[in-house]
Amino acid sequence: MTVAEEIAAQNELIENVIATAQRLIRAEKDKSKITPAYIAAKVQKAVDMFTGDEPVVIDQQAVVSTLIQRFSHWMGKSTTMKDDTNHKEWLNAARKADWQYWRRYQDFLESKLSDTVVEGVDEATDNILELLEDPQRTDSWDRRGLVVGHVQSGKTSNYSGLICKAADAGYKIIIVLAGLHNNLRSQTQMRLEESFLGYETTLDRSPGMPIGVAEFGGDLKTHSATTRADNGDFSKAIANHFQGISPEARPWLFVVKKQKTVLTALLKWIQTRVADSTDSEDGRKLVTKLPLLVIDDEADNASVDTGEDIMDENGQPNEEYKPKTINSLIRQVLHAFTRKAYVGYTATPFANIFIHQKGSTKKEGPDLFPKAFIINLSAPSNYVGPARMFGKMTKDGRQGVLPLSRDIEDNYDEGTQLGWMPPKHKKTHEPLYEGQETVPPSLHEAIHSFVLACAVRELRGQGTEHSSMLVHVTRYVDVQNHVKAQVEEVVRRMKQRITRGIDSETLLAQLRELWENDFLPTRDEVAELSTEAERPALLPAWDDVVAALPNILADIQVRSINGTAKDALDYAAPGAALKVIAVGGDKLARGLTLEGLCVSYFVRTTKMYDTLMQMGRWFGYRPGYLDLCRLYTSPDLIKWFEHIADASEELREEFDFMAAAKLTPEQYGLKVKSHELLTVTSPLKMRNSETLSLTYSGTRPQTILFRRNVETQETNLEATDALISSLGAPSEREIEYQRDGEAHRWKNAGLWRDVDATNIITFLESYLTHPAATSAKAAVLSDFITRMNDTGQLTKWSVALIGSGSGRGESHQFGEITVDSFPFRKLDETLDKKDPSKFAIGVLTDPKDESIDLNDEQWRAALELTRAAWKPEPARGRVNPPKEPSGKGIREARQKLGGTADRGLLLLYPLTPYDTEKDPKDPQDLVVPGWTKPIMAFAIAFPASEDPISVSYKVNLLYWTQEYGPSE
């Protein structure tokens, strides 16, 4: 037996032991008995069953750890927003009784995942399938939806389950649109062979070796028109071999790239070989006997039409409009069937929301807007996403951040814009560090971190699993190849020094310093932020790590990822686990999974939410090695990822509230357009690239960006003084409520009720917001309130001055209120370095402040609304039900309650003028040089409205592109 065969046999034995022990544990009815000791006993029983008297060595503790984690996982429920127009309910237990594709896929999943995760996939795919139409329904129907997951969270598992159920239900043609590059298409094909087909595809498209689900069920004779090979996509040549498909046949699977040649060949084949009828109105070839399911993986990429606005002057679709090629071909494929369902999958739905709801043309039919449904998937509790990686922004700074990010700033010189890898460079760029043909120290350290991570995984019993490192610093292939050669040289020298003992002392000293100053404390910090089941094991002894280094370094390979299928095939090849440093660019940025990703070294210029989120290959599942993971990137990008985490959570919370209110996807589309859009997605995908139209109803704009000059601060303080003087004596001072037994206090504060809207408008017309602010633009806010007043809305207001805080400064008299303790807000140091003329804070307001004018009854109503929309979802940090209403819940309550609660709330914050808490009189600590008075900031809580008004303002596209990078 070869070494590779021995390793494969050992891996199979471990998988069998885990699967058997899991079944034994699952059979226990009393779940309280499932303790670590109980799991260990079942593992021993499974080991005995498979090994008998043979002297086989299995790391039982590693198996026990795996099962402890599986049985501690849990999932929240998915949330759905839908439109049932022309939809007929059809999915019931009787219909599912004899489903074979799903049953064997379920067994396959249960051999690898926890019961709760598999149950979550079952429930979520049922939810999606029942919103599609019954494939046995013979009249015409068209259902289009969107499934929103989390980056690297298991969307493929979900749509594999959906495909299995759709095939069982009677869908006959299943087309999966799998990215733009061969490697992603090939990876998707292989996954569907494992989860749906049950066999490896061969060059002649006949079934090859049985794999995956084949172990759990017989040959279901599913056909695949595409293969796993580099050239296995659909083509004109392949189309010539295929005749029509009969309705009685088993389903056909097509895994195709979103590419003009491929989709054109597929469309032509459908029209010439599959169509069985002709449209009576326009003569189009139609397929009436075969129901179609299209799965669009990464649906926000290439599928969205980026052409100009397609409405005529009356707001009606221009039927002669020509959409962009890929969008057109996908729609034509759908338009060729009388019975069809389209399901887009994405983690970044921003662009899809901008698809025109009513866009339709003669040739293509309707656009791809998810009119029928949008489903927000939950991720399991062990998923590490943006919310867990980057924490949550609060008024006291970010909370719960995993300590895994490492700042890199040695890739270029900011002053000269030269160096190893400047953000902007040409395809002829030569990456040199200080004139030398080598990588910068930060990448040296990242490679050292990867080597140590591989060693620890080996010593923790994870040596049979793949480990990867990602180096993503340029989009140009020639520059990537240059970087690859430099990385190979670093690894080669490490091997030489460790294995031959040439100058090994210096290298081992560097590694030990990294171990003691980084790995040891990080493990302890991650342990504190983890649940008991997810807590990482203690790190091994340093001497054991050193002993493991020669073999680890011998196994490490450096690969270019440039879009060929081979890149995806490597992980599937039998033999030892790979230890790969993958150097790539855009081909790595979307969809491609790097197995066992431990270390990412990442330099990018774009700041668009969707592009950056998709580049987050480090999100995902890191069982047993989360504490070893590292993200090396610029402080700038970390700030942007934090921003994305907050924005994504806001949009998901908005979605939860609207789903609870039974609103439709079209209504959600209007809501998302009112978010702080300018960094959400490419201006091309935004369709309307010059004028931004939004409504503030139900939102809470707040000033977080400020000018650093005395004149502006003087103007804003005067505007505040004038407002408060005009209001007279406050309705209440020293405000305190008992909320469910807990005191909510606002000391040194004032509250004015029944304030006329004209006072608010006058204040906003005087206040100077920063021109780069997105939602808190005083002039636009003033315009919005004025227009709402014209319809009889927002005519009365509450105004609150929040004076108490821990900050410092000279006292200030606001009308009848003397404030001598100003709130302190942490400054964004990254922005300070970039542009000294402005400064920013993270979050201004506390959700609690939005309830300052609500009585107990109104507060409880807001809490009930918050709880009704809330669902447990560990990936978003949601574990325990809320005890207080969220800001969103309070704004929804304002609209629903009416009376004194149905009004806007202006919150005024005099912030401390000092940015540290050291010396209260040190001029060096002044945020604005020469300004010792309070810095005035404000937030506005707008009630939700049944009849919101939209306001528009011009977007400077040149400024946009300079600030956020070009469209991708």
Q: What is the per-residue DSSP string for 280-312?
A: TTT--EEB-SS-EEEEEETTTSS-S--SS--B-
Interacting residues of 758 by C-beta distance below 8 A, sequence separation 6+: none
Residue 579 sits in the same domain as residue 601 = yes
Total number of domains in the chain: 4
**Dihedral sign for Cα atoms in the order 913, 914, 920, 923:** negative
Read off the DSSP letter of residue 704.
Answer: -
Does some domain include residue 514? yes
- Measure Cα distances from 566 to 43, 196, 573, 777 in Å: 37, 22, 10, 51
Confidence of residue 569 (pLDDT cuts 50, 70, 90): very low
Is residue 520 domain-shared with residue 620, that is, in the same domain? yes
Both tokens assigned to 919:
């010396």
Q: Are residues 364 and 402 in the same domain?
A: no
User: Are residue 49 and residue 132 in the same domain, yes or no?
Assistant: no
Residues 367 and 407 in one domain: no
User: Which residues, including other chains, have CB under 8 Å from residue 870's CB and lie 6 or more apart?
Assistant: 656, 878, 881, 882
How far apart, in whole angstroms, are the C-alpha atoms of residue 738 and residue 757?
30
Q: Which residues pair with 339 in a beta bridge?
A: 141
Q: Is the dihedral of CA 168, 169, 174, 179 positive or negative?
A: negative
pLDDT, tens only, 158-168: 999 999 999 99
Report the alpha-carbon distance of residue 618 to residue 839 in Å, rounded: 30
In terms of domains, do 340 and 471 share one?
Answer: no
What is residue 898's predicted lDDT score, i.e. its pLDDT? Answer: 64
Cα dihedral sign, 798-803-804-805: positive
At residue 586, does pLDDT exceed 80? no
Q: Please give the Cα distance from 944 to 660 (Å, whole number).
A: 14
Q: Dihedrals φ, ψ of 410, to 5°? A: -100, 10
What is each CA distance from 28 to 73, 107, 220, 497, 553, in whole angstroms? 17, 18, 32, 53, 44
Q: Which of the pair, 605 or 366, is modelled with greater confidence?
A: 366
Task: State whether residue 106 is helix, strand or coil.
Answer: helix
Distances (CA, A) of 205 to 159, 224, 225, 771, 906: 23, 7, 7, 60, 66
Residues 470-512 pLDDT 10s: 898 888 888 989 999 999 999 999 999 998 887 899 999 999 9
Residues 211 and 315 in one domain: yes
Domain stops at, among 643, 660, 686: 643
* Residue of 947 and 625 predicted with greater confidence: 625
CA–CA dist 333, 286 (Å, integer): 10
Query: Which has the closest alpha carbon to 372: 638, 87, 701?
Result: 87
CA dihedral 648, 650, 652, 656 (to 10 degrees): 180
In a domain, 741, yes or no: no
pLDDT band at 226 (very low <50, low <70, confident <90, very high): very high
User: How many residues are listed for the chain in this entry?
Assistant: 968
Q: What is the torsional sign of CA 190, 191, 194, 196?
A: negative
**Of 37, 72, 107, which closes a domain?**
72
713 and 796 in a common domain = yes
**786-806: average pLDDT:** 88
Answer yes or no: do 60 and 87 share one domain. Answer: no
Q: Is residue 827 part of a domain?
A: yes
Confidence of residue 312 (pLDDT cuts 50, 70, 90): low
Q: What is the CATH number for 304?
A: 3.40.50.300
Domain hosting 614: range is 396-643
DSSP 783-797: HHHHHHHHTT-S-EE
Q: Is the pLDDT of residue 126 over 80?
A: yes
The whole model's pTM is what? 0.76
pLDDT in tens, 414-451: 778 889 998 888 889 999 999 899 999 999 999 999 99
d(CA 477, CA 483) in angstroms, rounded, equals 10
Distances (CA, A) of 860 to 436, 746, 857, 872, 925: 65, 19, 5, 20, 42
340 part of a folded domain? yes
Q: Which two tokens stand for residue 94?
A: 């009787």
914, β-bridge pairs: 926
- The pair of structure tokens assigned to 798 is 């509450």
* Interatomic CA distance for residues 819 and 798, integer angstroms: 20
680 is a domain residue: no
Residue type (1 letter), 11: N
Structural contact between residues 408 and 401, judged by C-beta atoms closer than 8 angstroms: no
Question: What does the pLDDT read at residue 677?
Answer: 33
Q: Is 450 found in the same domain as 317?
A: no
Residue 529: count other Cβ atoms within 10 Å of its Cβ: 16
Could you report the per-residue pLDDT of 325-337, keeping only the tens digit for each?
A: 898 999 999 999 9
Per DSSP, helices labelled H in 768-882 are 778-790, 829-834, 856-869
Of the three residues 575, 609, 643, the one that is the final residue of a domain is: 643
Same domain, 366 and 420: no
Q: Does residue 962 sit within a domain?
A: no
Give pLDDT, residue 148: 87
Question: Over the chain, what is the mean pLDDT?
Answer: 83
Judgement on whether residues 515 and 597 belong to the same structural domain of the protein: yes
Helix, strand, coil percentages, rounded to 5, for the chain: 40, 20, 40
Confidence of residue 613 (pLDDT cuts 50, 70, 90): low
For residue 956, the model assigns a pLDDT of 42
pLDDT-derived band at 103, boundaries 50, 70, 90: very high
Three-class SS of residue 919?
A: coil
Q: Please report, as a single letter, which amino acid is at residue 595.
A: E
Give every CB contact of residue 711 below 8 A, 6+ residues apart in sequence: none
Per-residue H/E/C for 174-233: EEEEECCCHHHHHHHHHHHHHHHHCEEECCCCCEEEECHHHHHCCCCCCEECCCCCCCCC
Which DSSP string corresponds to 852-870?
A: TT--HHHHHHHHHHHHHH-
- Rounded-to-integer distance, Cα 161 and Cα 157, Å: 6
pLDDT of residue 816: 83
DSSP secondary structure letters along 377-442: ---BTTEE-HHHHH-EEETTEEES--TTEEE---SSBTTTTBSSS-SS--TT----BTTBSS--HH
Measuring CA to CA, which residue among 587, 540, 539, 534 is closest to residue 565? Answer: 587
Inside any domain, residue 876: no
CA distance 685 to 309: 11
- In this prediction, residue 482 carries a pLDDT of 93
Residue 228: name the closest of 199, 250, 252 by CA. Answer: 199
